[in-house]
Chain A
Amino acid sequence: MKSFYVQAVLIIIALGLISCASSERGHDQAVEPTLQPIHEIPFPDPDPRVGLGAGLFDAEETIWNMKMLSTTPSPEDFIGSWNTDLAFKDNYAIQGSYNGFVIWDISNPEAPEVVVDFLCPASQSDVSVYGDLLFVSGEGLGGRLDCGTEGVPSAVSEDRLRGIRIFDISDIRNPQYISNVQTCRGSHTNSLLVDPNDDEYVYIYVSGSAPVRPDAELPGCSDAFPEDDPDSALFRIEVIQVPVANPEAARIVSSPRIFDDLEAPPTHGLAPEDLAEIERAREEGAFIAEVMGVERVISGGWLNQFLSQVAREEGRTTPTAADSLYLRENLQDMIDEMMASRGRGLDRGPNQCHDITLYPEVGLAGGACEGYGLLIDITDPANPFRLDAVADSNFAYWHSATFNNDGTTVIFTDEWGGGTQPKCRETDPMEWGANAIYSIEDGKMVFQSYFKMPAPQTNTENCVAHNGSLIPVPGRDIMVQGWYQGGVNIFDFTDAANPVEMAFHDRGPISAESLETAGSWSIYWYNGLLINSEIARGLDIFDMIPSEFITENEIAASKTVVLDYFNPQGQPMFHWPASFALVRAYMDQLERNRELDMQTLTRFRTELTRAERTNGSQRAQILTRLAEDFETAGPNSGNHDKLMKSAGVLMELAEI
């Protein structure tokens, strides 16, 4: 630990020097860049997250490149329960819990205050907000319609709530339970979709990962395969339409089967080399037949099964050459007959999604659906359809998705083991329980890299990739993420093939002897703060601090983004208002990435400072000239795009 602190002190001193140097840059004509490309910055060694002492509220902690503003235990009724996901509205953080939900006033992030502790047990109680409405997921078997804490003693019961609870939070300090919508698999999580073209309704996509509940409890719930029952709850998500003015009338409007026919496209569509192989096999006399519309070589156990069937029908125990000939002529019919008779044995791909992240501004959703990551078109909110699907044998359980701001990259997390198991031990591969990062090219997902919190954890720390959000640093793709007892971290994935960890906070386990579920359920950026729902310990609030990985200007620019509300699975598009910080952030990035020579940058920075010190027409004049200089420098720079963007911001500033 000691060496880390020495190192931290050195880094801080170095940072101090950097900030001194940069403020004096106008005077000396420094031509060497001081900001290092982030891939070249050394990582703390040894990693201070290894070997932290255990404890509930007194666990040993370590922090790197971020600052903790506060950590506050849950209110008394919620101690010993599990805190879950977070949603935000105005100056409030709404924290779900297996015991209900808690509302925190976070106006003073150094001392957040509990204003509501609403006891209403149901797991997982993941939350979403819209306007005056709060939506809470219920999936577990102990959730009651009347919010009672006694559980539900019968397997079939009219007291049980599995679905969505709806609260009126027009007076946020006094929420009213107004309605609910029951669903067949309950609601593990929920995703709130605001239709950009319709303000009368909002939509909730309900994903469930639990078994289908009995028909006797909720009529019409069926886990039969769709061949047997077209209304099966399998293979679909449920879309609830909520009339904003009349939320009591919320109802399920559609259950699109976005998973149907998944067997065809993802990893085993017939590629040219597959087709060539089938032709070769045909020439060699192999058995070929069409299975579900795709030609296949029929061999091995399956072929033997058919041969035996033919022989059996002829009263023989061992197939003969005649049986083989017969099979060759009748194989297709036999396969068709078998497929028709099987029904239930047909393969479908996944039949449920864990999370669906909705990004309405780009018309896309990322569905994390069992063994698949789905890219879904949501331009018509009531009728989503699938654009692409990827499967990955390194990925056990596709859990949630996060897009970058441009909608050109998507990150899927793999919640291997479900979040209660220690999947970050030294022996657990870095591809398992990690993030997988894909670029989106023409509606298709192209794999780029895996990223996992790199510090080995103990076997009493549940740890796997979990929830997080983008941080609106302009010009970069940066995400903050929770890893349960693996702590929280911040990483840059602007280069999707080479993500870089740039900050973290971690605690030791709850107990060194036994695995008690705890850690970060989710951490999200909300209006300049990083807010962490700690399962056992309450609410943590962090701030970003400048480091070798991010400058004060970039942080200042990120803080110009202000949201009215935020939901975990609804991704807002960030827009940065024109500001001096924004241009400076872009310039820092041009320096860091060696995209513009230092002499030009130094001149631009001096001019910008000069503009900031003046006002009125003089300022406008300097800014306009500077914008022209940016445009002129564009073609000779390494990032024409960023220079043009900066020029645009300068023009906007000139007009203010």
Chain B
Amino acid sequence: MKIRISFFKMVLFTALIWAGVSGCAASEQSAGNAQIEDSSAADAERARLESLYWERINASRTRYVQAEVDFMTDMIVHHAQALIMARLAPTNNASDRIQRLSARIINAQQDEIALMQKWLRDRNKPVPLVDFDGIVMKVVTENPDGTISGDEAGQSHSAGGAHGGSPVSRHNHDMLGMLTQDQLEELASVRGNRFDRIFLMYMIQHHEGAVHMVYELFAADGAGNDEEAYRLASDIYAEQVTEIEMMKLMLRDMGEQPPASILPNHNH
């Protein structure tokens, strides 16, 4: 029993500290047998609370709405395109600043993809798995029964791109801010300063798309009552709004005017 060991350690440790700090006379404090007897009742109570904890965590994952499922499914693909863009930075000779930004975007969005996949998996929903072949995205679906379907190797996921019956996303072709495959190719073809500028222009647009998706999600009835979904979406919102500002700063430092916002006014 782990708890016994750690409890014993604690007691031993406390006794040692007491002995060490209080002083110079040797201490013969014992660990206190009565406390150890009490601990089995405490163990039972904690075991009961632990099962209650898991019960409630699992129950909290049944109170979602379809808009949240769509949001996660779409955002995984949306994020994956940001990974494609950011992974070009080292190979296309981006400046140190842009490489640092790209490394952060990769780190952040990879973790968010994992979290969104977990969100879907925890709710027995199909989970998009993304992979890349250069600048071409491949998406397959992990079904709740564990099987993989919808091998879409070579299928491009982008704004206005071909959309051949993707099993995972209903409408990624009209996701705001997604780059077309032509735009991705343009980005992949430029290097150095030019890459920096185009990267920032496109990434700002791409991030604004994510911000828009959060607004759309929260406009749906019942959305955001699932706290994990609310938290994920509002964290993505805050992160992307912040990065948009940072990227605009970077553009201005290069003497460029940031692109006009593509965001519609949401709250009317």
Residues on A lying within 8 angstroms of B by beta carbon are 5, 8-9, 12-13, 15-16, 19-20, 23, 53, 55-61, 63, 67-68, 73, 76, 79-82, 98, 123, 139-142, 151-155, 209-215, 221-224, 228, 263, 267-268, 291, 296-302, 338, 342, 344-345, 347-352, 354, 370-371, 391, 393-394, 396-397, 416-423, 428, 432, 514-516, 536, 545-546, 552
B124 at the interface (CB under 8 A from A): no
Q: Enumerate 23 A-B pairs (CB-CB under 8 Å) in ascending A order.
A: A12-B16, A12-B20, A15-B20, A55-B3, A57-B3, A59-B2, A73-B46, A73-B49, A79-B49, A123-B227, A152-B225, A210-B237, A268-B249, A300-B194, A354-B238, A370-B241, A370-B242, A371-B246, A393-B97, A396-B108, A397-B238, A417-B111, A417-B239
Say yes or no: A155-B220 contact (C-beta < 8 A), given A16-B23, A350-B245, A536-B53.
yes
Q: Please give me the residue from chain A that is nearest to B58 by CB atom.
A: A80
Contact A211 B237, beta carbon cutoff 8 Å: yes
B163 at the interface (CB under 8 A from A): no
Closest-CB distance, B97 to chain A (whole angstroms):
6
Q: Please give me the residue from chain B that is nearest to A153 by CB atom.
A: B222
Closest-CB distance, A377 to chain B (whole angstroms):
23
From A123, A342, A345, A394, B230 is in contact (CB under 8 Å) with A123
Say yes or no: A345-B261 contact (C-beta < 8 A), given A370-B238, A545-B21.
yes
Proximity bits, B1-42, A CB within 8 Å = 1, else 0? 111001001100110110111011000000000000000000
From B19, B52, B60, A16 is in contact (CB under 8 Å) with B19
A61 — which chain B residues lie within 8 A by C-beta?
Answer: 6, 9-10
B234 at the interface (CB under 8 A from A): yes
Contact A396 B104, beta carbon cutoff 8 Å: yes
From B17, B258, B268, A545 is in contact (CB under 8 Å) with B17
Contact A140 B53, beta carbon cutoff 8 Å: no
From A214, A223, A348, B219 is in contact (CB under 8 Å) with A214
B118 at the interface (CB under 8 A from A): yes
Q: Please give me the residue from chain A that is nearest to B12 by CB atom.
A: A5
Closest-CB distance, B11 to chain A (whole angstroms):
11
A59 to B46, CA, bound (A): 12
Contact A417 B235, beta carbon cutoff 8 Å: yes
Closest-CB distance, A450 to chain B (whole angstroms):
14
Contact B53 A155, beta carbon cutoff 8 Å: no
B145 — which chain A residues lie within 8 A by C-beta?
Answer: none
Contact A345 B258, beta carbon cutoff 8 Å: yes
Contact B267 A213, beta carbon cutoff 8 Å: yes
Q: Please give me the residue from chain B that is nearest to A52 by CB atom.
A: B6
A152 to B3, CA, bound (A): 40
B171 at the interface (CB under 8 A from A): no
Contact B227 A98, beta carbon cutoff 8 Å: yes
A655 to B102, CA, bound (A): 64
B225 — which chain A residues lie within 8 A by C-beta?
Answer: 141-142, 151-153
Q: How many A-B residue pairs have CB under 8 A?
A: 233
A223 to B256, CA, bound (A): 26
Contact A155 B218, beta carbon cutoff 8 Å: yes
Contact B255 A394, beta carbon cutoff 8 Å: no
B191 at the interface (CB under 8 A from A): no
A568 to B23, CA, bound (A): 37
Q: Please give me the residue from chain A that is nearest to B193 by CB atom.
A: A300
B131 — which chain A residues lie within 8 A by C-beta?
Answer: none
Say yes or no: A371-B227 contact (C-beta < 8 A), given A211-B218, A421-B112, A421-B115.
no
B221 — which chain A residues lie within 8 A by C-beta?
Answer: 153-155
Contact B57 A516, beta carbon cutoff 8 Å: yes
Closest-CB distance, A539 to chain B (whole angstroms):
14
B50 at the interface (CB under 8 A from A): yes
Closest-CB distance, A529 to chain B (whole angstroms):
16
A371 to B241, CA, bound (A): 9
Closest-CB distance, A389 to chain B (whole angstroms):
11
A516 to B17, CA, bound (A): 33
A67 to B237, CA, bound (A): 39
B78 — which chain A residues lie within 8 A by C-beta?
Answer: none
Contact A16 B261, beta carbon cutoff 8 Å: no
From B193, B215, B242, B260, A397 is in contact (CB under 8 Å) with B242
Contact B49 A515, beta carbon cutoff 8 Å: no
Closest-CB distance, B262 to chain A (whole angstroms):
10
Q: Please give me the residue from chain B that is nearest to A350 by CB atom.
A: B245
Contact A15 B21, beta carbon cutoff 8 Å: yes
B261 — which chain A residues lie within 8 A by C-beta?
Answer: 344-345
Contact B267 A212, beta carbon cutoff 8 Å: yes
B77 at the interface (CB under 8 A from A): no
A348 — which chain B residues lie within 8 A by C-beta?
Answer: 245
Closest-CB distance, B7 to chain A (whole angstroms):
9
B136 at the interface (CB under 8 A from A): no
B118 — which chain A residues lie within 8 A by C-beta?
Answer: 514-515
Q: Please give me the residue from chain B that is nearest to A419 by CB atom.
A: B235
Contact A20 B21, beta carbon cutoff 8 Å: no
Q: Please give me the residue from chain A that is nearest to B231 by CB atom.
A: A420
Contact B21 A19, beta carbon cutoff 8 Å: yes
Contact B238 A416, beta carbon cutoff 8 Å: no
Contact B227 A142, beta carbon cutoff 8 Å: yes
A224 — which chain B residues lie within 8 A by C-beta?
Answer: 265
